[in-house]
Amino acid sequence: MSAVVFARHAMTPAERLRDAGWVAFVGLILGIPLVGLTTVDVGGRLGVETRFGLLVAAVAAVFAGRLLLRWSIDQARNRKLARDQASTATAADRAHGAQKVVTVLGWVALGASIALPIFYSDNRYVVDTATTVLIYVMLGWGLNVVVGLAGLLDLGYVAFYAVGAYSYALLSTQFGWSFWEALPVSGALAATFGILLGYPILRLRGDYLAIVTLGFGEIIRIILVNWTEFSGGPNGISSIPRPSFFGLEFTRSAPEGSQTFAGFFGLDFSPMHRLIFLYYLILVLALLTHAFVSRLRKLPVGRAWEALREDEIACKAMGMNTTNIKLSAFAIGAMLGGFAGVFFAARQGFISPESFVFTESAIILAIVVLGGMGSQMGVVLAATLLVLIPEFGRNFAEYRMLLFGLAMVLIMVWKPGGLLAHREPTLRLNPLGKAASNKEAA
Amino acid sequence: MSKTPTSTLLSVRNLTMRFGGLTAIDDLSLEVPAGRITGIIGPNGAGKTTLFNCLTGFYKPTTGTLRLAHPSHGEMRLEALPSHRVARDAQVVRTFQNIRLFPKMTVLENLIVAQHNVLQRASKFSIAGLFSLPGYRQAEKNAIERAAMWLERLKLTHLADHAAGDLPYGIQRRIEIARALCVDPVLLCLDEPAAGLNPRESAELNELLLYLCGELGIAILLIEHDMSVVMNVSDHIGVISYGRKIAEGTPEQVKNDPQVIKAYLGEDEEEGEAAA
Amino acid sequence: MAYALQQLINGLTLGAMYGLIAIGYTMVYGIIGMINFAHGDIFMVSAFIAVTAFTILAAADVTSIPLALTFVLIVSIFFTSAYGWAVERTAYRPLRGSTRLAPLISAIGMSIFLQNAVQLTQGARVKPIPPVLEGGVVLWDAPGFTVQIGWSQMLIIVTTVVLMLAFTWMITQTPFGRQQRACEQDRTMASLLGVNVDRTISFTFMLGAALAAVAGVMVTVYYGVVDFFIGFLAGIKAFTAAVLGGIGSLPGAMLGGLLIGLIESFWAAYLWAEYKDVATFGILCLVLMLRPSGLLGRPEVEKV
Ligand SMILES: Nc1ncnc2c1ncn2[C@@H]1O[C@H](COP(=O)(O)OP(=O)(O)O)[C@@H](O)[C@H]1O
Ligand SMILES: [Mg+2]
């Protein structure tokens, strides 16, 4: 029976109907307890409410959706077959072409992100959302070092984000440090935490590593919730100072002896100035991160990370100290997460443990994997998608996370290697282009 | 093929390796001379790969000593070193029976990764590397040249920018040898390098091994089933069966040793006769 | 002393439930080497099904407790297994043979999906049900403290023991168990020898879900409340239990579950209740550092 459902050949209409019918039947079984029935509060006790109309509608939707999906998959497959037969491009050419497209896309994305606040200078929502995207891009690039390059499965990345955010929050509210003073210190603190976590678990592999990092993330969060004197507990820390523009505050009126941003430039005060400044700030931080990680990738340490991901035993046989390599990946990933955390705290002005739950780690990990492990542009694409998909669902706000989860599953099933799975070598013997392909042909 | 006697490079004394109840290597002693090719043969499961694993720090021997007379560092005890130090400090480098390349990285990258320690030192905690300082640039250039030299020597230059994992088996074997050579070994341990090669490739392998040993003076420890390789290139052969050394000597001596014929070559015949 | 005894009973009860969920993790890990991140949410779904079933029974004026429990168990096991099957079919099977991370991400997505699906269809509020099994047996009337084992606690411990026995029998004695173990050791070889690997894997997911369903019913009976978020923490604790016991090992999962239950209840009783999860994870880290393959897991010698 199941062979029919997932048959590879193109289906006849009768088969399609049977297939959709079978899926709808499964949908019916699954739907009965959750969609068809629910419990409601009737006078202090639970009573059962039936929603068979809704159930029938849902099953019908599943039936139609399955028919449509099956049909479009077949169409896409036929088109792809035809295309493959028609084109004579080699795999190398195609990879080369893909790389070109990605590069062009990268420049377009950069241009668009620089221009965005100019076009949306009075649209708070757009600038805010774009800032959120950039925070996730930066986090994704940071985690990409650990997971994408070094291949170490980290499910607790949010802990370093939290360390960065709380470091800045405490340094600024308790000791009056400015954003720029706190940024490097917080990053260093996060890196230290990275090493502290990394050291004891170096020997662990794969999934053991995953669960311990997850546990570590939870431990940090629980401590933040319960150690009230230190972290403010569940209420968090508020009135965190915002970063200033070279000493110019983004406020309506400046305190004695200093100037506001608007006053200095002779502009009318607008709350958008700060938002746009924050947007450019995270853009610069993200670009620096990108430059840093891309450069590291081409250095011995970066190649060692990738080699570690590919085969740890071979690394050892080549005389590489895998302990140091792993620790450096943890430390640098953690540091970048810490930077992002500092920015997050400065942007929100308020932080609480609720922002550092496991779901955040999962989202960041999803960004790295959906993007295509190790691919920097993939992270941008995946972060944009994952932030925007729930935003599109904003009109039915309750469905946001539902859509988010569904999207994660669908993208993974559709492209298990990630959206941009192509890997660009860190160095070449023969420069790319005609020369190389000529040689191959010869 | 008579050569002047040389000093001992590696001496294995009373090596024993047990896995629970199984004794994979049983009180094995062996001398590996400098600048020579030493063959190790023996039936499947005899403990040859386990010997390599003990040598290169992947397994800790149950008992026994592994002394390396390193040309510049003096005597080193391999059994006390972790695997990465065996390769880095003692310069004993190995290949694997079931090839272990970095499959998604290109051939060139594989060879550059093998020079990690040199490059890492030149990159000064990546600072010199990040800013692309001249010292680091020079080191990187040297590394690429070195890699290019081995690629040329092993006829791999045209494949340098291909992902290593996508290439045919025989080529992957060569890449693995090239990669090991980039670590700059004093003792090169090859685990069945001819497995899966066609006759022409095996002949090329012979030539390469003789070159490495004859011209460059690299000592080679060679596990091999392909007799056309072992018998032709080895100066000396040790035969292992059930973890014990049952014979050793020149290829001629080993070939004619009744013990060897019984344990290694003739086992099937005898069983066949018994059954008949 | 009396207090400690009471904590022991509470810890064992809690641990038995963790153990039941942990078996689902361990079996799936054993056979396809992935963390089924959605397993905790499958457990949560089963608890909601149990709530609905109990409410239906209450509306129908069923008063016989054994009858009610049997009915609820059967209903919950049936639907929850269907969920286990469907999750594997849609989110994991298409990813078999791809990278190790792909199914993990898909599983995390599935977990988020299930959590929100339940929240949407069943509401975000906590669901209380009237007590099903009240009272218990007083074991020891010490001065100042009475040690009691509740009927629901007894039910949980007895059910778990019976299930464990049945389960061990099934894995060691039945054809399915043989096929399951064969797939664990070498899937390719098993399929060459005529084992229907797809079906075995599907069945493993259903079994794991069925055990989670039992745990779901027990939680509903024991605590009397469920909400859509219980899957996350229970899932993580159970997975921790599976890892602690040595992932892939069935007795290990049970042992790990019991240990975690005991650690939690003793830590909460004698030290700081707020930090009980920190203790759990801390001990997990310690055990893994000393015994990287868990308590009962086979030590994994890296074959080079
Ligand atoms: N890590 C290990 N754990 C248990 N047994 C092992 C291990 N490594 C090797 N063995 C056993 O040691 C024996 C020798 O194996 P090996 O050295 O690989 O033989 P070969 O001579 O074919 O290379 C075999 O019986 C093998 O199963
Ligand atoms: Mg071998």
Domain region containing B167: 101-171
Determine which helix (DSSP H) or strand (DSSP E) holds B66, and give its type and residue range.
strand B63-70
| B42-65 per-position pLDDT tens digit | 888 889 999 999 999 999 999 999
Mutation for testing the A interface, residue in B54, B120, B127 having most A CBs under 10 Å: B120
Shortest-distance Cα residue to atom 7 of ligand 1: C303
Shared-domain flag, residues B38 and B105: no
- pLDDT bin (cut points 50, 70, 90) of residue A119 is confident
In a domain, B80, yes or no: yes
Instruction: Check A301 against B148: CB less than 8 A apart.
Output: no
A408 CB within 8 Å of a chain C CB: yes
pLDDT of residue A394: 66
Shared-domain flag, residues B83 and B112: no
Q: Are A330 and A151 in contact (CB under 8 A)?
A: no
**Phi and psi at residue B257, to the nearest 5°:** -70, 120
Q: CA B92 to CA B83: how far, in whole Å?
A: 10
Q: CA C288 to CA C240: how far, in whole Å?
A: 11
Q: CA A280 to CA A262: how far, in whole Å?
A: 17
Mutation for testing the C interface, residue in B51, B58, B62 having most C CBs under 10 Å: B58
Residue in chain A nearest B156 by alpha carbon? A429
Secondary structure string (H, E, C) spanning chain C:
CHHHHHHHHHHHHHHHHHHHHHHHHHHHHHHHCCCCCCHHHHHHHHHHHHHHHHHHHHHCCCCCHHHHHHHHHHHHHHHHHHHHHHHHHHHHHHHCCCCCHHHHHHHHHHHHHHHHHHHHHHCCCCEECCCCCCCEEEEEEECCEEEEEEHHHHHHHHHHHHHHHHHHHHHHHCHHHHHHHHHHHCHHHHHHCCCCHHHHHHHHHHHHHHHHHHHHHHHHHHHCEECCCHHHHHHHHHHHHHHHHCCCCHHHHHHHHHHHHHHHHHHHHHCCHHHHHHHHHHHHHHHHHHCCCCCCCCCCCCCC
In sign, the C-alpha dihedral spanning C254, C257, C263, C268 is negative
Which residues in chain C have Cβ-Cβ distances shorter than 8 Å to A365? 105, 108
C303 CB within 8 Å of a chain B CB: no
Helix axes A358-371, A206-226, angle to 10 degrees: 140
Which residues in chain C have Cβ-Cβ distances shorter than 8 Å to B58? 302, 304
Going from the C-alpha of B210 to that of each of A42, B10, B183, B222, B248, the distances in angstroms are 89, 19, 19, 12, 20
* Cα B227 to ligand 1 centre (Å): 22
- Tokens standing for residue A17: 């109907």
Q: CA A427 to CA A137: how far, in whole Å?
A: 25
In a domain, B176, yes or no: no
* Cα B48 to ligand 2 centre (Å): 6
In a domain, B196, yes or no: yes
Judge residue A167's burial from the number of C-beta atoms within 10 Å of its C-beta, 0-12 exposed, 13-18 middle, 19 or more buried.
buried
Which residues in chain A have Cβ-Cβ distances shorter than 8 Å to C48? 33-34
Q: Which CATH number covers residue B12?
A: 3.40.50.300
Give the end-to-end CA distance of chain C in Å, rounded to a whole number: 52
- pLDDT bin (cut points 50, 70, 90) of residue A6 is very low
Whether A321 has a pLDDT exceeding 60, the answer reads yes
pLDDT tens per residue across all 276 residues of chain B = 445 667 888 999 999 999 888 899 999 999 999 889 999 998 888 899 999 999 999 999 999 999 998 888 888 999 989 999 999 999 999 999 999 999 999 999 999 999 999 998 888 777 777 887 888 888 889 999 999 999 998 889 999 999 999 999 889 999 999 999 999 999 999 999 988 888 888 888 999 999 998 888 899 999 988 888 888 889 999 999 888 888 888 888 888 888 877 776 555 544 434 443
Those residues whose C-beta lies under 8 Å from the C-beta of residue B170, and which sit 6 or more positions away, are: B196, B197, B198, B201
- Tokens standing for residue A147: 């997971």
Please provide the DSSP assignment of A283-307 as one string.
HHHHHHHHHHHHHHHTSHHHHHHHH
Position A195: which residue type? I
For ligand 1, pick from C293, C298, C302, C303 the residue to mutate: most ligand atoms within 8 Å of CB: C303
Atom nearest to B243 CA in ligand 1: 14
Shared-domain flag, residues B111 and B191: no
Q: What average pLDDT is seen over chain A?
A: 83
pLDDT of residue B269: 46
Radius of gyration of chain B (CA): 20
The ipTM assigned to this model is 0.89
Please state the domain count of chain B.
2
Query: SS3 for A312?
Result: helix
Which of A34, A205, A215 has the CB atom closest to C121's CB atom? A34
In a domain, B1, yes or no: no
- pLDDT bin (cut points 50, 70, 90) of residue A307 is very high
Q: Where are the beta strands (DSSP E) in B107-206?
A: 187-191
Query: SS3 for B93?
Result: strand
| C156-211 per-position pLDDT tens digit | 888 888 888 888 888 888 888 888 888 888 888 888 888 888 888 998 899 999 99
Quickly name the fold that domain C2-290 has.
Answer: ABC transporter involved in vitamin B12 uptake, BtuC (1.10.3470)
Which residues in chain C have Cβ-Cβ distances shorter than 8 Å to A70? none
DSSP code, position B156: -
- Tokens standing for residue B250: 């020149």
- Tokens standing for residue A272: 């958008």
Q: Are C72 and C238 in contact (CB under 8 A)?
A: no
Atom nearest to B42 CA in ligand 1: 21
* Cα B53 to ligand 1 centre (Å): 10
Task: Calculate what percentage of chain C has a pLDDT beyond 70.
Answer: 98
- pLDDT bin (cut points 50, 70, 90) of residue C230 is confident
Q: Could you tell me the residue ranges of all domains in chain A?
A: 13-86, 92-224+277-441
Cα angle value A402/A405/A411 (rounded, 5°): 130
Name the residue with higher pLDDT: C6 or B212.
Answer: B212
**Phi and psi at residue A392, to the nearest 5°:** -65, -30
Q: Are A310 and A426 in contact (CB under 8 A)?
A: no
Instruction: Check C29 against A207: CB less than 8 A apart.
Output: yes
- The strand pair at B63-70 and B74-77 is best described as antiparallel
Nearest to C85, CA basis, from C9, C199, C197: C199
Q: CA A25 to CA A19: how far, in whole Å?
A: 10
Query: SS3 for A42?
Result: strand
Which residues in chain C have Cβ-Cβ distances shorter than 8 Å to B59? 304
| Closest chain A C-alpha to C143 CA, distance in angstroms | 34
Which of A47, A369, A370 has the CB atom closest to C59's CB atom? A47
Shared-domain flag, residues B134 and B164: yes
pLDDT of residue A433: 54
Beta partners for residue B11, in sequence order? B31, B67
DSSP code, position A245: B
Helix axes C39-59, C101-122, angle to 10 degrees: 20
CB atoms within 10 A of CB B153: 15
Those residues whose C-beta lies under 8 Å from the C-beta of residue A215, and which sit 6 or more positions away, are: A156, C236, C240, C280, C281, C284, C285
* Cα B97 to ligand 2 centre (Å): 6
Q: What average pLDDT is seen over chain C?
A: 85
Those residues whose C-beta lies under 8 Å from the C-beta of residue C98, and which sit 6 or more positions away, are: A416, A417
- Residues of A with a Cβ under 8 Å from any B Cβ are 92, 292, 295-296, 299-301, 303-304, 306-307, 310-311, 313-322, 423, 425-430, 436, 439-440
Position B268: which residue type? D
CA dihedral A209, A210, A213, A214 (to 10 degrees): -150
Those residues whose C-beta lies under 8 Å from the C-beta of residue C40, and which sit 6 or more positions away, are: C21, C111, C231, C232, C233, C234, C235, C236, C238, C239
The CATH class given to the A92-224+277-441 domain equals mainly alpha
Determine which helix (DSSP H) or strand (DSSP E) holds B129, and give its type and residue range.
helix B127-130
Mutation for testing the A interface, residue in C28, C42, C55, C280 having most A CBs under 10 Å: C55
Indicate the range of A339-353, C95-109, C131-145 predicted with least confidence. C131-145
Those residues whose C-beta lies under 8 Å from the C-beta of residue B199, and which sit 6 or more positions away, are: B228
Q: Are A305 and A145 in contact (CB under 8 A)?
A: yes
| C64-87 per-position pLDDT tens digit | 888 888 888 999 999 999 999 999
Nearest to C242, CA basis, from C229, C232, C255, C233: C255
DSSP code, position B104: T
Q: Are B19 and C301 in contact (CB under 8 A)?
A: yes
pLDDT of residue B3: 59
Q: CA C256 to CA C291: how far, in whole Å?
A: 14
B96 CB within 8 Å of a chain C CB: yes
Indicate the range of A21-30, A95-104, A401-410, C182-191 predicted with least confidence. A95-104
